[in-house]
Amino acid sequence: MTRLALLSDAHGNVHALRAVVDAVRAAAPDVIAIAGDHAVNGAFPAESIDLVRELEAAGAVVVQGNADIAVADADYGAAYPWFGDAVPESYRTVAEWTAEAIGPERVDWLRRLPAERRIRAADGTLVLVTHASPGSQTAGFDRSLDGSVILERLGRTDARVICCGHTHVPEVRDFGWKVIVNGGSAGYVFDGDPTASWALLDIAAGTVTPELKRVDYDIIAAAEAVSARGLPGDVYRAATIRTGKLVR
């Protein structure tokens, strides 16, 4: 059996990330997968990156998210293509602040992360780790997607299991031939439950058994740290952390 822990979208909320990492370590997985968007939005991006890198040094599989592109390269069109030519100034400002806060060496680490990684479980099952969907860091498995679009995106990989994040909504979709496991967000969740989320998968004899997990943490401290920073949009970011719902 292979036990895999999946976390994603910490977004610089080190209070949440530390709580998730403690829970992950207690579960004693064989491998940890971290699916991107490590730094931007929260008040502690350097600390969050350092914790992810600690896990990476111990063998975790880490990929880059779309918001990591904004921080590392200031390519806002690539990071947020749904805005077209009108990426909000608040997105640009927080990405610039984050890049300065983490420093050049951590920026370079974000830049060098791969878009995807693959893991072969002990039973031969192929697992894809990606931020949004196979072949894309920005086109996720949103709940509103037409079924034909989901199937088209699933067809972009031979992997039986697709581990992702990006939507900030934890969920499992089992199609029989393929399974999507979205770990939600370890710091910036959108499903109305402000606790941090992650996922644990057991893979054995061709069977995939995923379980979504929630972790309590000091939500008020994380939100107040963002509010105190005072960047454009921080009042909404803090409200999102407090409520577990995207506030704009």
156 alpha carbon, distance to own chain's centre: 20
- 224: in domain: yes
- Distance separating alpha carbons of residues 156 and 243, to the nearest angstrom: 35
- 248: in domain: no
Beta bridge mates, 24: none
Tokens read off for 97: 């602040």
Q: What is the pLDDT of residues 176-216, one digit of tens each?
A: 999 999 999 999 999 999 999 999 999 999 999 999 999 99
pLDDT of residue 143: 87
- 70: in domain: yes
Q: Which residues in the chain land under pLDDT 50?
A: none
The residue range of the domain holding 75 is: 2-243
Q: What is the 3-state secondary structure (H, E, C) of 135-164?
A: CECCCCCCCCCCHHHHHHHHCCCCCCEEEE
pLDDT of residue 164: 98
- 149: in domain: yes
Question: Is beta strand 196-204 parallel, antiparallel or unpaired with respect to 31-34?
Answer: unpaired
pLDDT of residue 181: 98
Question: CATH number, domain at 179?
Answer: 3.60.21.10
pTM for the whole structure: 0.96
Largest CA distance in the chain: 52
143 alpha carbon, distance to own chain's centre: 17
- Distance separating alpha carbons of residues 153 and 176, to the nearest angstrom: 15
The residue to which tokens 């780790």 are assigned = 129
Total domains in the fold of the chain: 1
The residue to which tokens 């709940």 are assigned = 143
- 35: in domain: yes
Tokens read off for 135: 């072949």
